Structure 1
Amino acid sequence: MGDAIDRRERPPVKDWMSVLIFDGRGGVRKLTDEEETQPYSVPQKGFVFISGNARSPDFKVWLREELGDFISDMISVPSTRTRCVVMEDKAMVMLRVPRPNASPEDVGRQLLSLWLEKGKVIVSSELNIPEFLGVAQWQASHHAPLSPADLVARLGLRAADRLEPLIERLGDNLDSIEEGLMLDRRHDVRAKLAHLRRNLISFRRLIWPQRDVLNTLEIEDLSFFTPRDRVRLREASSRSARLGDELQALSERAVLVHEQILDTRAEQMNKTMLLLTAVTVILMPLTVISGVLGMNVAGIPYADSPYAFWIVAGSLALIGAALFVLMRRVKWL
């Protein structure tokens, strides 16, 4: 063979684990059943990729035998934190990606736990990693990752690919909310906007840590990282950062819509208070006059006149009409 061969003890191929050999030149192959009893060989520039089911007890046992109790526990124990930990010349990376067919209302995050070292990548996840990465397309196009760091960058890009349409749907939902606000459907808008803002917070908690993990991995001094690897990680980080910027822009728009709702409510309340004040101003002198004339004492003018009631009622109506016209002229009504 053209490249030097690194002989390794091959882990058993089971239904709970998949082993892929990357040749470092764009090629990838999966170990077949015939190779199960034979040691596999990894080209000097290539690496082996082992992915297993995080729920499988057999895979957890294999992890303990391969990496030891401490590292295997870090990889296999479920975690809610996206992070990157470097130990000597090795690294552990935790990523969280949306589940397949997720919706903005129910992202359903799934964990990817990766162990990176020279010539080897181990992934523990409930996801079907070969399918998630599109290994079949890599085999057909001969465009597989060239290094472990390149593989991590591809994982970050795949996660971003799942997030991007969800973020676009969030943007469409915000457009619908703004349209509803313009059509004066405020009773529906407030609840939808509150739900959207909660989704935006959830997405930001998902995308920003992923960017930080890729940035951290890029700047770490790992001997098997090449300048090209760091460029690839930077590209994946930039993609995550761009999605984060879109989320930030949506969050700012949501804040503006919320402020517009508050302004609209305040304006409506001001109009209501102005109307009530105007009615009070009109009725107050009428109430005073009618109250004075309604005193139960002697000496009330025209108390015995049969036309007094209509004269007083007409006078009150004229005074009220005059006050109304005055308020219309000063634009209080």
Structure 2
Amino acid sequence: MNDAMSVRTELPGQTDAGNAGMIVVFDGKGGVTGVGGLDSEHIMPQRGFMLISGNSRSPAFKVWLNKFVGPFNADLLTVPNTRSRCTVADDRAMVVMRVVRPGAEPHDIGRQLLTMRIERGQVIVASELNIPELLGVGQWQQTQHAPVSPADLVARLALRASDRIEPLVEALGNRLDDIEEQLLFDNDARVQTRLAQLRRDLISFRRLIWPQRDVLTTLEVEDISFFSGRDRMRLREASARSARLGDELQTLSERAVLVHEQILDQRSEQMNRNMLVLAAVTVVFMPLTLITGALGMNVEGIPFAAAPWAFAAVSGALVAIAAVLVWWMRGRRWL
């Protein structure tokens, strides 16, 4: 790699979706020595490295990648991928992660791909995301706390991606708390609909988090010569952050299952109570129906058929029988 590279000068932080790309040069000691476009010149410090970022949909950036890394590698960086992965070959790593887009909501976590080519002295990132803004390059220029190696830069990218997900995971937890609280007072179809939507959101988040953890773990354990012990520690820290979020999502999923089981138990209990009431009504009215059916037969010999007080007496007897049956079932705790 040459010490000087030709890139078009731009002001820091001006890169957006429409520009070809940006180069950021790090001195390897925590400082940023240069920020510019793809056509201006920068001097690479002896221990330094550079970040090359651009919009994966920008034709200009694709043309630049074809010249800089070749058509095959340019396609690997810019062709959309369906899943997160980490591939290591020839002392280089190709990493694909899915990052939550800015302003995403828990029920609509639009994902954006972040594809990186990591090698000694440089990291190339192709994404629709504004990478310098995501990383906070402008702040690093002032604080002198920039990454000191390519692996450190990748770890910080993963941590920034986790920072975007964490408040969304917290929002999912708050939604589950609201559902549990609402179940104490009301168990209608709206609660069940909200719970079903929440469980779908949790599944989507888990599909986003767990592969990212696996990608970072794979990158940490691979035999890449320019990764130091500190680099692997930083990658392990980023992987642990993703794992913690994944564990929190797993806990929320288990709580959601328990809430769902609680809803089913309440519904089953209510159904059993209704069936018990119907059975009690049947037990009470069965002897009454037998008596009234017998007295209602249109045959000779019905007792008290001509007595004017017979109807009142039979009605009173039926009420007494019903009261005795209800008292008996309550005594046996059937009601």
Q: Please give the TM-score of this superposition, normalised by the length of structure 2.
A: 0.94
- Counterpart check, 1:16 vs 2:20: yes
One-letter identity of the residue aligned with 1:269: M
> Which of residues 303, 319, 330 in structure 2 aligns to 1:301?
303
Moved more, 229-238 or 310-319: 310-319
Structure 1 residue 7 displacement after superposition: 1.9
CA distance in 2, matches of 1:37, 1:67: 18
> Which of residues 126, 131, 134 in structure 1 aligns to 2:133?
131
CA 1:122–1:19: 2 relative to 1, 3 Å = same
State the match for 2:119 in structure 1: 117
Give the secondary-structure state (helix, strand or coil) at the position aligned to 1:115: strand
CA distance in 2, matches of 1:299, 1:183: 59
CA distance in 2, matches of 1:11, 1:140: 23
Structure 1 residue 288 displacement after superposition: 0.8
Structure 1 residue 36 displacement after superposition: 4.4
State the match for 1:248 in structure 2: 250
> Which of residues 282, 285, 292 in structure 2 aligns to 1:290?
292
Check the 8 A contact 2:187/2:263 in 1, yes or no.
Answer: no
Structure 1 residue 259 displacement after superposition: 0.7
What is the root-mean-square deviation of aligned Cα atoms in Å? Answer: 1.7
Structure 1 residue 186 displacement after superposition: 3.4
CA distance in 2, matches of 1:261, 1:20: 54
State the match for 1:7 in structure 2: 3
How do residues 34-113 of structure 1 correspond to structure 2 at under 5 angstroms?
36-38=39-41, 40-113=42-115
State the match for 2:16 in structure 1: none
Give the secondary-structure state (helix, strand or coil) at the position aligned to 2:237: helix
Give the secondary-structure state (helix, strand or coil) at the position aligned to 2:44: strand
Structure 1 residue 41 displacement after superposition: 2.1
After superposition, the C-alpha distances for 1:121-142 in whole angstroms (9 at most, x for unaligned) are 1100111100000011111110
CA 1:266–1:185: 2 relative to 1, 3 Å = closer
CA 1:6–1:23: 2 relative to 1, 3 Å = farther
Structure 1 residue 70 displacement after superposition: 2.0
State the match for 2:237 in structure 1: 235
- Matched residue pairs, number? 327
CA distance in 1, matches of 2:291, 2:35: 102
> Which of residues 154, 157, 161 in structure 1 aligns to 2:156?
154
CA distance in 1, matches of 2:39, 2:318: 104
CA distance in 2, matches of 1:13, 1:51: 14
One-letter identity of the residue aligned with 2:21: M
Structure 1 residue 9 displacement after superposition: 3.9
CA distance in 1, matches of 2:106, 2:144: 34
Structure 1 residue 80 displacement after superposition: 2.0
State the match for 2:189 in structure 1: 187
CA distance in 2, matches of 1:207, 1:332: 51
One-letter identity of the residue aligned with 2:133: E
State the match for 2:208 in structure 1: 206
CA distance in 1, matches of 2:132, 2:267: 53
One-letter identity of the residue aligned with 1:84: C
CA 1:228–1:6: 2 relative to 1, 3 Å = farther
CA distance in 1, matches of 2:40, 2:132: 22
One-letter identity of the residue aligned with 2:317: S
CA distance in 2, matches of 1:319, 1:31: 95
Check the 8 A contact 1:180/1:186 in 2, yes or no.
Answer: no
State the match for 2:199 in structure 1: 197
Q: Please give the TM-score of this superposition, normalised by the length of structure 1.
A: 0.94
One-letter identity of the residue aligned with 1:24: G
State the match for 1:28 in structure 2: 32
State the match for 1:257 in structure 2: 259
Moved more, 119-128 or 184-193: 184-193
After superposition, the C-alpha distances for 1:256-303 in whole angstroms (9 at most, x for unaligned) are 111111111111111111111001100000001111111122222222
One-letter identity of the residue aligned with 1:282: V
Moved more, 177-186 or 7-16: 7-16
Check the 8 A contact 2:24/2:36 in 1, yes or no.
Answer: no
One-letter identity of the residue aligned with 1:278: A
Give the secondary-structure state (helix, strand or coil) at the position aligned to 1:43: coil
Give the secondary-structure state (helix, strand or coil) at the position aligned to 2:292: helix
